[in-house]
Amino acid sequence: MHLVVDHPLILHKLTILRDKSTGPKEFRELIREIATLMTYEAMRHLALRKKIVQTPLEECEGYEINDKNIVVVPILRAGLGMLDGVLQLVPNASVGYAGMYRDPETKMPVEYYVKFPAFYDDTEVFILDPMLATGNSAVKAIDLVKGKGGKHITLLSVVSAPEGLKVVELKHPDVRILTCAIDRGLNDHAYILPGLGDAGDRLYRTK
């Protein structure tokens, strides 16, 4: 199941993100802001507990989420660019890391660092990767999370290719995918067209 989060604020920011003249500082700010806006939508289903609160005038009934029950998993390295934007709304969430790079020949993900906190039956897991291209890294990250007991999983991806969406939905039909745009497709190097280039390189100015 996927949902396109096409709020005007997001589409405006995404357009600046795509612009090749946008430098790393602004790129990082925009990815972080878009991640915050996506989080607002991605966490709409979270369970609420009733909570009694004392206003200056009287006692009233309110609500609270249990953000200690949330695990955010950025796929390294580009997913790191979204992490602070998510944590801004759920500061008590735990963070796990799924470090993988794409083998330039096979285009398949190779894991080099994986560290997760505990997953319980009701833990809500949010996997972050700004680009859903072939879908292979996302599938691998979801496999790893499920292998450690993660059950309720949402993937947040800023820009997706139809090919990647199809792969993830086929392998993991239970995972919710939120994206801001579904682009035309992949080129021969598995980059998204029109896309925004290499998100990791643009975040960290490595090219």
In the complex, the smallest distance separating the C-beta of residue 206 from ligand URA, rounded to whole angstroms, is 11
Exposure of 104 by Cβ count < 10 A (0-12 exposed, 13-18 middle, 19+ buried)? exposed
Residues with active-site annotation:
102, 106, 198, 201
How big is the site for ligand URA, counted in residues (CB under 6 A)?
A: 9
Q: 175: left (phi > 0), else alpha (psi -120 to 50), else beta? A: beta
Interface pick for ligand URA out of 78, 93, 167, 177 (rule CB under 6 A): 78
CB 83 within 8 A of CB 126: no
Task: State the binding string over 29-58 for ligand URA (x if CB under 6 A, else -).
Answer: ------------------------------
Which has the closest alpha carbon to 5: 31, 30, 41? 41
CB 162 within 8 A of CB 195: no
Which has the closest alpha carbon to 109: 79, 71, 69? 79
Task: State the binding string over 101-140 for ligand URA (x if CB under 6 A, else -).
Answer: ------------------------------x-x-------
Q: Does 76 bind ligand URA (CB under 6 A)?
A: no
Of 67 and 111, CB closest to ligand URA: 111
Interacting span for ligand URA (CB under 6 A) from 54-62, 82-90, 91-99, 187-195 = 187-195
Q: Does 195 bind ligand URA (CB under 6 A)?
A: yes
Q: Does 97 bind ligand URA (CB under 6 A)?
A: no
Interatomic CA distance for residues 21 and 13, integer angstroms: 14
In the complex, the smallest distance separating the C-beta of residue 81 from ligand URA, rounded to whole angstroms, is 10
To which H or E segment does residue 109 belong? strand 109-115
Residue 169 dihedral angles phi and psi, to the nearest 5°: -65, -30
Chain residues binding ligand URA by CB under 6 A are 78, 131, 133, 191-192, 195, 198-200
